[in-house]
Structure 1
Amino acid sequence: GAEVLLNLQPTSSVSIQYHPFFGPHDDLVLLELDEKLLSDVLYQRVTLRGQPDEDAVLCTKSKTYSVKFVGTSNSVFLIPPADCSTSHESGGKNDKQQVATASVIKVAPGNMELVEVAPRLDKLKSILSENLYSSDEASTAMGDLYQWDDLINKVQASDDELKAGLQALSAVEIDGYWRIVDEKYMDVILRMLLHNSVLNDWLLDSLVEDKVVSVLELDGFPRKLVYHCLNVYGGRVEGEAMGGGVWRLDSRRVCVHFARGILREGKRKMESFMEEWLRMIPEEMQPSFDMLEGEVLTEKLGVETWVRALSVSSLPTTPAERFSILFKERAKWEWKDLEPYIRDLNVPGLSSEALLLKYTRRSQPSVDAEPGAIVVVSCESSDLVLEESCLTFVIIISSLLHHGSGSRSMPMPMPMPMPCEHLISHLRESKSVFV
């Protein structure tokens, strides 16, 4: 049996034969694991997730792995223990010797391999956005609602990654269902909180939980939504001794919220936007345009600067789709503008620099770019086609000039690739003729 092979000595041999139950092999899959995953599998801490029309993923508590079949050129034999093996006798009439054999019960043509991947959270945003929670109670009965068990069955992500995805979407569990609260409703709650802070002389960096919750409940807001508002636009103050807890509003989150509201109706001139934005923000907060990194884009139209919304939270989480949308917004990006929109991309084993090398190429800055600015374009940009065309052109011209001269010298070496902007000057210096 299997023990025979395990104890096989050098230069020894063993007979291989078909097991009596040798049969179909499609009911068996080998899974290759590293030491980190072995204990999770042995103690049943993994799950396979995915819908019938999706490629399955394997999830631990904190990570997601794609499952890929890898074929092998050599057959892998599966041999059962000794009690399922057989033996036979050999030798002459007077010399019988029992020879150990190994019985092959299955043949594996390959194995399944696990590769860590980013969680597939775009679906989470899609299904939760179907039915936003608003002030209209009737809306809660429209569309599908999802509990935690529904989400882990539909979204290909580990439990920890799913929780992080819900937090990134500012989702909240209401009556057992996970919901995204409509931004307009969140705006009403936040404005009422700020209004009451003025009426009651509350400090925005020291909001007493019990007072805030009780006052906003009297204004008609559900207790759960008041806590959610505090959590979305602020955080608990640690180490405070005041009863009931203390919260502090986060300046950036509040400022970004009001900027989104202004730009929801379309782009604005910079002066008009800044004037309205500053007017809406509480006096205790010090807004800065840098707070809107990854939320807005600016563009020059003539002598005027315009501002328009482009939130990183609205973009796909897969790199290919993310870069495709970004280069539809702009053909060329300066690195300082692009970086906030790819900073959150999560691809195991690939840094932001590696993603840039894969999906972009460096380009020449425009005349209005800042000195020393790094500019990138899409790998599919026409700039690259132009560069390749120029390179082909210089090779052809050099070859024609050489062979047309009647020279019997050795063929010229292939010109080394060079940036497109240097090709014309190179041709001029070599006195090549343009046709």
Structure 2
Amino acid sequence: MDSCEEGKGIRTLSTVCEAAETAGIHMVPNNPVQVLRFSEAINGNVRLLELNPEVEKSLKQGDRVVIRGLASDEAILCTESKSFEVKVVETSNTMLLCRDIQTPGKEAFTASQSAGGGLIRQEVCGSACSYLELRPCRGHLSRLAEVLSEHQYAGPETEPDNFVAGYTFRDLLDLVQGSEDELWTGLKRCKACCIDGFWRLLSADYFEQAFDRIVQSLAEKDWPIYEVPVDECCELLTDLLPRVIIEHCLTCYGKKNDNGATYCLDEELVSQFYAGYLLRRVAKFNYAEFMEVWQQTVPLGITVALEMLKGIALHDLTARPPVVWHFPANSLPYDVSPRFNALFQERTKWTLSDLRPYIEDLATPQQPLEAILLKHTRSTMDVTGQKLYNSRHPL
């Protein structure tokens, strides 16, 4: 048999052992030897994807794993909760691909061992000189605010008859590059509202008027801010605001209580709303005057404090007179580099306490805040010994 196979140019176990001995390769007794033969129709267009534990787990659980992006975008692979950049990694050697290569533990390998070894013939059906590597990243949601701004909602009376506009959640998944969890977070960050199945931004004026009217109703009915009855509130304002808008406002500035029938408004979020309401209309506000007007504007029982302005406004107490101005975090670019450019164009030097509210959402387990600061900023000390951060790159 061996001589017939040798005559046909097919390797036998003896010829393989001789070749291994010549090459100085130690053959493990009783282990099978796999001999490769190239297919006549070898496929060189195969793409290999290196799975990391998170993606492998998602695939095994039957979860959705999708590559998202437009034709002009760099590919982003998304599970239901995480996003990964897809990068091509070149290899120094060509990889040969077989359909059923045998490794220790597989049935055919074990059976061959039990039989005392032998040859297992494999056909090379493909080859590859590169593979796709997955690198954890933040979802690319910079397009989200832009597409949501196309159809802003300003009340039912402004909507044409039979008007359908906006994007469903699935539509947005096709337009942005992020996981479902990241998209939900992005929608919450920009305070988007789902109206008749479509996600839309409320116009700034309409949003302010709606929530201010809700807060006024609390005073009229003597409802405490920590127990706002949603059904009664909707009934009271039925001629002014749709129920979906009332519940959206209460969700943005509070949370539903365990009883499911009332909302608890967050004092700091309510205070920040009124701070933005006052500051949005002026370039800069005299600090002392602002603090006085701000305190008069918030609901009775809430005490405003300078710390509440973090992430929505900046102040300069060294100016004469001291001033405060609107600078909300949710208006900044989503991506890291444009975000830092916008921050350092607004202010050349920052303390960490002032900077943190504007960048803390950029941090990931793979890239903590300290690493982001090291990459995009330089730090110096002022005369008082306080650390200040300025741009590492020219603006």
Which bracket does the TM-score occupy, shorter chain normalised? 0.7 to 0.9
Answer whether contact 2:363 2:372 (CA < 8 A) is retained.
no
C-alpha displacement of 1:41:
2.6
Matches within 5 A, 1:9-24: 11=26, 16-23=36-43
C-alpha displacement of 1:154:
0.7
Alpha-carbon distance in structure 2 between the residues aligned to 1:144 and 1:334? 43
Segments of structure 1 that go 5 or more residues without pairing to the other structure are 83-97, 383-435
- Given residue 380 of structure 1, which amino acid in structure 2 is its aligned partner? H
Segments of structure 2 that go 5 or more residues without pairing to the other structure are 1-9, 28-32, 102-117
Alpha-carbon distance in structure 1 between the residues aligned to 2:380 and 2:211? 44
- Given residue 185 of structure 2, which amino acid in structure 1 is its aligned partner? A
Deviates more, 1:31-40 or 1:206-215: 31-40
Residue 244 of structure 2 is aligned to residue 231 of structure 1: no
Partner of 1:296: 313
Partner of 1:330: 347
Answer whether contact 2:350 2:390 (CA < 8 A) is retained.
yes
Deviates more, 1:354-363 or 1:99-108: 99-108
- Given residue 37 of structure 1, which amino acid in structure 2 is its aligned partner? V
1:134 to 147, 154, 173: 154
Matches within 5 A, 1:320-359: 320-359=337-376
Alpha-carbon distance in structure 2 between the residues aligned to 1:61 and 1:263? 38
- Given residue 303 of structure 1, which amino acid in structure 2 is its aligned partner? R
* Equivalent residue pairs, number: 352
Partner of 1:178: 199
With normalisation by structure 1, the TM-score equals 0.74
1:222 to 242, 248, 252: 242
1:201 to 222, 226, 231: 222
With normalisation by structure 2, the TM-score equals 0.81
- Given residue 273 of structure 2, which amino acid in structure 1 is its aligned partner? H
Residue 142 of structure 2 is aligned to residue 122 of structure 1: yes
Say if 1:191 and 1:302 are closer, same or farther in 2 by CA, change over 3 A. closer
Residue 262 of structure 2 is aligned to residue 249 of structure 1: no
Answer whether contact 2:38 2:123 (CA < 8 A) is retained.
yes
Say if 1:373 and 1:139 are closer, same or farther in 2 by CA, change over 3 A. farther
Answer whether contact 2:55 2:65 (CA < 8 A) is retained.
no
Higher relative contact order, chain-length normalized (CA < 8 Å, sep 6+): 2
Alpha-carbon distance in structure 1 between the residues aligned to 2:272 and 2:256? 20
- Alignment RMSD (CA, Å): 2.8
Matches within 5 A, 1:19-418: 19-23=39-43, 25-26=44-45, 28-42=46-60, 43=62, 45-81=64-100, 102-135=122-155, 137-139=157-159, 145-217=166-238, 219-238=239-258, 240=259, 245-265=261-281, 266-299=283-316, 302-365=319-382, 371-380=384-393
C-alpha displacement of 1:303:
2.5
Q: Which whole-Å deviations, capped at 9, do the CAs of 1:148-205 have from their partners, x for residues lacking one?
A: 1101111111111111211222212111101111221122222222222222222222
C-alpha displacement of 1:73:
0.3
Q: Which whole-Å deviations, capped at 9, do the CAs of 1:313-360 have from their partners, x for residues lacking one?
A: 111222211111111112221222222221221344111111111111
Say if 1:44 and 1:143 are closer, same or farther in 2 by CA, change over 3 A. closer
Q: Which whole-Å deviations, capped at 9, do the CAs of 1:120-150 have from their partners, x for residues lacking one?
A: 1221122112221112544578895101110
Partner of 1:426: none
C-alpha displacement of 1:267:
1.1
- Given residue 391 of structure 2, which amino acid in structure 1 is its aligned partner? S
Identity of aligned residues (%): 31
Answer whether contact 1:131 1:143 (CA < 8 A) is retained.
no
Answer whether contact 1:118 1:348 (CA < 8 A) is retained.
no
* Secondary structure at the counterpart of residue 226 of structure 2: coil
- Given residue 359 of structure 1, which amino acid in structure 2 is its aligned partner? H
Answer whether contact 1:131 1:142 (CA < 8 A) is retained.
no
